[in-house]
Amino acid sequence: MRNVLITLGVIGLLVFLVFQWAVGINNNIIEKEGVALGQWANVESSYQRRSDLIPNLVATVKGYAAHEKETLEGVIKARSEATKTTIDPANITEEQMAKFQQAQQGLSGALSRLLVTVERYPDLKANQNFLELQSQLEGTENRINVERNRYNELAAAYKIYITKFPTSIIANFINKKELPLYKAAEGSDVAPTVAF
């Protein structure tokens, strides 16, 4: 009888230890995923900041370059498309990420065309409001890049963590998948040709 109790005690202790180990891994998975998704919120916040600057930029340019209607409308339309495209952080997928990136690239292209148009208006380029908005937009673009890179670092670390053995057993059991990475736009690996 004593041997049976000792055996049951050892088995119970082993079950308890395995349970504690699994709970610890589960909590680490949830924490790492939460940190990565929190960083994704920072990416979206940076894009929102850029989107918030655009109406003021367009209004400032409109006062100087009213006949650039097509360019201004293109920026407004691209901003609208970019703000419509959102990602559910709890269920982020490669397809959602690609659609989000495409909308943001459309807005970036429209902004580039607007800033090229501005070159034709020396008075506008000297306008203090425009210069301040342009500076804020530049800073925001840099912040977007920093936030995307940080998200990618955290999402990659999360992927490594949940795919390593034995953590992968728990990750599969609780149905945790890797987070998609923010990728460069197609063709961005080719340097543009600049001719003067």
Does residue 89 fall inside a structural domain? Answer: yes
Does residue 24 fall inside a structural domain? Answer: no
Does residue 94 fall inside a structural domain? Answer: yes
What percentage of residues in the chain have a pLDDT greater than 70?
88
Does residue 13 fall inside a structural domain? Answer: no
Give the model's confidence band at 68: pLDDT under 50 very low, under 70 low, under 90 confident, else very high: low
Does residue 27 fall inside a structural domain? Answer: no
- Mean pLDDT of all residues belonging to the chain: 81
Distance between CA atoms of 78 and 84, rounded to whole angstroms? 10
pLDDT tens-digit readout, 89-139: 777 778 888 888 888 888 888 888 777 777 777 777 677 777 787 888 888
Kindly report the CATH number assigned to the domain that includes residue 110: 1.20.1270
Containing structural domain, residue 96:
32-173
Crossing angle for the helix pair 94-118 and 2-64, nearest 10 degrees?
Answer: 20
Torsion, Cα 131 132 136 141, to 10 degrees, reads 0
Does residue 196 fall inside a structural domain? Answer: no
Does residue 186 fall inside a structural domain? Answer: no
Q: Distances from the Cα of 168 to the Cαs of 77, 148, 159, 174, in angstroms?
A: 44, 26, 10, 10
Q: Which two tokens stand for residue 123?
A: 């008075």
Per the structure, the count of domains in the chain is 1
Q: What is the pTM of this model?
A: 0.71
Q: Which of 111-115, 140-144, 168-172 has the lowest mean pLDDT?
A: 111-115
Does residue 99 fall inside a structural domain? Answer: yes
The DSSP code for 149 is: H
At CB < 8 A and 24+ separation, what contacts does 111-117 make? 111/54, 111/75, 111/78, 111/137, 113/71, 113/74, 113/75, 114/57, 114/58, 114/61, 114/71, 114/72, 114/74, 114/75, 117/61, 117/65, 117/68, 117/71
Distance between CA atoms of 21 and 105, rounded to whole angstroms? 44
